[in-house]
Structures are given as C-alpha cells and as structure tokens.
Amino acid sequence: MAMRKALLIFLLLLFFGGLKGQNCSVSVSADSLTACVGDTIFLAATGMSEYQWSHDATLSCDTCASPYIILSDTASYVVVKGVSQVSQMATNGNFSSGNTGFLTNYTYNATSIWNEGTYAVGPNPNAVHPNFGSWGDHTTGSGNYMLVNGSTGGNKILWRQNVSFPPGVQVTVKWWMLTFVTPAGLLQLKLAGTNIGNGASTPNSSGVWSQTSRTFTVPASGSAILNLVTTSAVLSGNDFGIDDISFQYTCESYDTVWVAPKSDAQILLDTSSLFACDSLCFKIDNALDSSGLLNYQWVLSNGIVDTTNTFSHCLSDSGDYSGYLLTSSNEGCTDSVALPAMRVGYSRKLDSLVISNDGKYFANGILVLDPNEVIGLSAHFESYAGSRGLDSLYISYDSGNLNEPGILPSQLAHGWNPVSLSQEPQTVCVYLYTADGCVDSLCQQIAFYPTITSPNFFTPNGDMINDVLEIQSTNTERLVQRVYNRWGQLIFETEQPDLFWGGKINGKPAAAGVYFLEVEASNLYTSGRPIMQRKAIHLMK
C-alpha cells in the first residue's frame, strides 16, 4: 500500500509538480531596417537582463538595451546576444505554502516526527519532536521549513521536483541545511538517477544554518527531475532541517537585425579642434565625397555661409567659433554634422622690457650695465579684458629665469628687484603668455662694465703672502696699471692683466711708504671710456 502511495505521488509530480523555468529568448523591435547612409538607426532589445551587440563598429553602446548605430554603406546586419542571470526559488522552495509543491518518499506527519523517515513542515522542530531544539527558519526566522527525522534505510528520496530550464544551460541548485541532532545527516543531489557532485553533509554543529550548492547541465529536453536523497543509515542523529531551495543559471539567446543603406549622403570630417593666435586659416573637406557629388551648406557662427564642397576661410577676430555642415544627395538623403571647434587667440602685447641699473648706457644696441649697481627686471604690457584667465610673465637670462603666473587682465606691469645676473654678455628675454597659450616676446642684449678691486696696502717681504699689489677685475679685456711715487714719478706700468707690481724700483726693493695707483679697465663695451680707479696704497715691511 505504501509503495502504491509513493508511486502515485511521483506520477502527480510528473504531471503537476513541475516548475517551469523562465523564458530564455531575446527579441529585437524590428528584424530589418533601411535608412540613408549616415543616418542614426535606433535599436531595441527586450526579454533579457543583459545585452551584447556586435557586428557594427558604430554602435553607441554594445551593452545597452537600446543603442544606436550610424548607418554606413557597408552595413548589413547587427547581432544582439541576450544574457540573463536567472535566480528563482523552487516551487514552494521556502516551504511557506506548507507541505505542497514537491514529492517525497518520506512520511509526512504534521504533529510528530518521532519516527525515523518522517518529516513535517513548520517553524519549530521542538514542536514536532521534544528532543529537538527551537530554531527558526532560514528565510525570515519565523517561517516554515522542512523538519526531517532522517531515515535509517539509506538512499531515500526526501524532496523531488521536475523543473524546466533552457536546454544545455549550467544550473546551480542551492539549499540551506540545519542540523537538529548530531551526527550530521548526509544528502545527495541527483538529476533523475545520476549523482550531481558529491554528497552534502548537514552542519556538524546543531542550530547553525549552512548553504550547499551543486551544478549540473540541463538535458537537451529542457526537463530536469531533481532529487534530494538522504543516504545516511545511522539511527542516532541524522535529524535536520531544509529551507530555501533555489536555482541559478545564465540564460543566453541571439537575434539579428538586418540593415540596408538607401543612399549616400554621409559626412566624415576631421573633428580636431582648430586654434591659432591672432588669425586662423583653415580648409575642411568631406572625406566621404571626394567626387563632389553632394550638395553642401557650410554655416559658421559669424554668419559666413559657403556652398562649395571644400570650406576654406580665414578668421582674424579673436574669439570662439562654431558651425555646422548640411549635405543632401540627389536621392533625398541628408546628413549634418557640427564643425570642429575653432578659436582665435589673442597675443597680449608687450610694450617694453625694462632693465633698471644706475650707470647703464647703450652701445651699438647693447645695454651695458654697471655690475656694482642694483639690477632690476620688469615688463610693461597692455591690459586685455578678453583674457580667459590669468596670464603669465616669464623672463629668461643666462643664469636662470623668473616667472609670475598670476598676471591679471587689467594689470599693466610687473617686475623683480634686485636680480642677480652672471656678469657675462647675454640676452635677456621676456615672454607674456596668455591663458590660451598665445605669446608675445621682447629681448635685449646686455653686457657689463669691467670691475676693479685693488688693495690698500701690500707687504713685499718674501713671505708669499700679499707680496704683490694684486688687482682683481671682471669683464676686463685690457687692464692698464700705473704706480707713482709721492713725487709723481711713474715707477711701474703694465697692460698685462696677470702681472702686478712686486714692490721694486729698477730691480731694487722700494722704500716703505705711500704710493699712488692708477688703473684703467676696458672691454668691448666701454667704447673708449675705460673704468678708472685712482687711490693711495701703502707699501709696508
């Protein structure tokens, strides 16, 4: 009688207990589309959660449900692959509907599972077996789950459902288990009569929920008879709960949209931004109409309109320009595109480079400076209200540079003082950069007077210390030294810059006392005006 009852339950499962999987099919809004070359064609796919479009390089988005393409003259079709990550509960997989939606070889008893091989569906194992604890279900903590006193017969179907899935997909079956009394129970998931993976043990500790999963491939029929079979035959323990049986799988499907171009009026421009300082001349061609078969209308934001197939123009007013191109073919197709962004920058003008120095003078266009005086560098320039931000001032010279990045639009000058320059002939340049990157510059060649440094005394006593009247000089090409005695008689003269008076007159040591030194230093830039120094010096012994 028990066998007949079990057989009847299995037959009912086959006919009524099956769970139908979600539909696995992607569909497009239209199977075929026609349009003009260059037109935007909007696509749409439904039925899945993820999409992968391919076979057209102009796809605006290859993972969107509704992308678009720009139709080319070589376009033929677009393929969409739909993917859905399906997660669904088994029929009454959380047992919230009680003892329904599944088949079993276990004996159902709603009030007691004292005997092995029995089960109940409820919220509390202690309510159906006084030796079991009170543990809530996995779903909410207060709902139903399957309460099982494990069979000692081994290999007995505890739970069974017939589920429909897309043929060939990989399905992961997941369920939660809780041990009432140890030792743990042991279950085997089967596809019909074939094991899916290894056996799954319930938790080794009582009162702890643990999830288990197994993965299988759906047969070509799409029908999967799934069995949870208890395999333990122990009498002690082997008591547990089952809850939240679910399925997860990835569903894939393909569809195709056929596209056909009607005519040729497309545009391909170089969209690189155009920029120049003070004036901009450009030439723009449609790379897809080398034969000039289309009708053209080029429109620029300053009011310029051109109907030739090549747009050539020069802009001299600073500012930003935009525009667009309209084309049409003799077959009625049109296209339009924005022209590349254009900007004419303005070079903010420098008025002067000022090199301040007491004693400076010009010699053949070269500014000659006195190195003994303070040197300052500054620039004067125009104000420019059209600046797009802060401008910057940069001054370069042989030994370094100066930079001021915060020149205001209304500012007229900026400078640095003092500035240390190497005392070599060089070129000083100032650059005024606008925020656009335009630049104006001025340069000035500079040179330096010679410098002379001479001692007040010397001691020609042969101790190798301060034995000669050494003259130190810089920027000197010619150095004339003359030494006079107190009666104005010339006792030493030389033009050699590395020869100095050693305190002798006619080869004999001069007497200690006061003598008079006259030095003339000159270079290429003194222009017949040598630097002179006259002073008294003391010869000491």
- Residue 238 sits in a domain whose CATH number is 2.60.120.260
Q: Report if residue 148 sits inside a domain.
A: yes
Tell me which DSSP letter residue 208 carries. Answer: -
| Judgement on whether residues 127 and 230 belong to the same structural domain of the protein | yes
- Number of Cα atoms under 13 Å in the Cβ half of residue 397: 23
233 Cα distance to chain centroid? 62
How far from 98 is each of 93, 233, 307, 315, CA to CA, in Å?
A: 10, 27, 79, 82
The rounded distance, in Å, linking the Cα atoms of 263 and 36 is: 5
Round to whole Å and give the CA distance between 440 and 211. 75
Q: How far is residue 242's CA from residue 202's CA, in Å, rounded to a whole number?
A: 9
Q: Extract the tokens encoding 283.
A: 């030439």
The pair of structure tokens assigned to 54 is 């391919």
Whether residue 275 lies inside any domain: the answer is yes
Question: Do residues 521 and 387 both lie within one domain?
Answer: no
In a shared domain, residues 93 and 78: no
Mark whether 441 and 455 lie in a shared domain.
no
Return d(Cα 480, Cα 466) in angstroms, integer.
Answer: 20
Residue 74's pLDDT band (cuts 50, 70, 90): confident
User: Among residues 387, 414, 448, which one ends one of the domains?
Assistant: 448
pLDDT exceeds cutoff 90 at 333: no
Nearest to 397 by CA among 416, 420, 381, 374: 420
Q: Do 483 and 340 fall within a single domain?
A: no
For residue 14, the SS3 value is helix
Evaluate if residue 233 carries a pLDDT over 90.
no
- Alpha carbons 124 and 133: distance in angstroms, whole number: 8
Bond into 183 cis (ω within 30): yes
Structure tokens at 265: 């009026």
Quickly tell me which residue has 């959660």 as its tokens. 49
- Asked if residue 259 is part of any domain, the answer here is no
Report CA 200 to chain centroid distance, whole Å.
Answer: 47
The token pair at 409 is: 């639009």
Residues 232 and 94 in one domain: yes
Query: The tokens of 206 are what?
Result: 């009582």
Asked whether residue 482 is domain-assigned, the answer is yes
- Confidence tier at 387 by pLDDT (50, 70, 90): confident
Identify which of 41, 80, 44, 46 has the alpha carbon closest to the alpha carbon of residue 58. 41
Dihedral angle over CA of 151, 152, 154, 155, nearest 10: -20
Residue 23's pLDDT is 63
pLDDT over 90, % of the chain:
77
Which of 33, 54, 84 is a domain's end point? 84
Do 184 and 219 have their domain in common? yes
Instruction: Give the C-alpha separation, 136 to 207, whole Å.
Output: 9
269 and 409 housed in the same domain: no
526 and 431 housed in the same domain: no
The last residue of one of the domains, among 222, 249, 276, is 249
- What's the rounded Cα separation, in Å, for the pair 46 and 352? 70
Residues in the chain: 541
In a domain, 50, yes or no: yes
Identify whether 260 is part of a domain: no
Average pLDDT over residues 148-159: 94
Q: Per-residue confidence at 127, pLDDT binned at 50, 70, 90?
A: very high
Q: CA angle, corner 224, sides to 218 and 225, nearest 5? A: 150
Q: Look at residue 84 in the predicted model and tell me its pLDDT.
A: 87
**Quick one: tokens of 471?**
């003259």
What phi and psi values does residue 10 have, to the nearest 5 degrees? Answer: -60, -40
pLDDT of residue 518: 97
**According to the 3-state scheme, what is the secondary structure of 418-440?**
CCCCCCCCEEEEEEEECCCCCEE
Residue 19: pLDDT above 80? no
Residues 479, 358 within the same domain: no
Asked whether 416 and 495 are in contact (CB, 8 A), the reply is no
Query: Max CA-CA distance within the chain?
Result: 155
256 occurs within a structural domain: no
Look at residue 305 and tell me whether its pLDDT is greater than 80: yes
Half-sphere exposure for 122 (CA within 13 Å, toward CB): 17
The reply to whether 258 falls in a domain is no
pLDDT at site 262: 76
Q: What is the pLDDT of residues 434-492, one digit of tens each?
A: 999 999 999 999 999 899 999 999 999 989 899 999 999 888 889 999 999 999 999 99
**pLDDT at residue 16 in the model:** 35
The domain that holds 279 is classified in CATH as 2.60.40.10
Query: Which residues constitute the domain of residue 300?
Result: 265-345
What is the domain count for the chain?
5
The residues with which 35 forms a beta bridge, in sequence order, are 261
- Looking at the structure, tell me whether residues 165 and 206 fall in a common domain: yes
Instruction: Give me the chain's average pLDDT, please.
Output: 91
Regarding whether 143 and 245 lie in a shared domain, the answer is yes
Query: pLDDT confidence of 415, banded at 50, 70, 90?
Result: very high
What value does the mean pLDDT take over residues 60-66?
Answer: 93
Report yes or no: 419 and 375 within 8 Å, Cβ to Cβ: yes
Specify the range with the lowest mean pLDDT, choosing from 16-25, 100-109, 201-210, 258-267.
Answer: 16-25
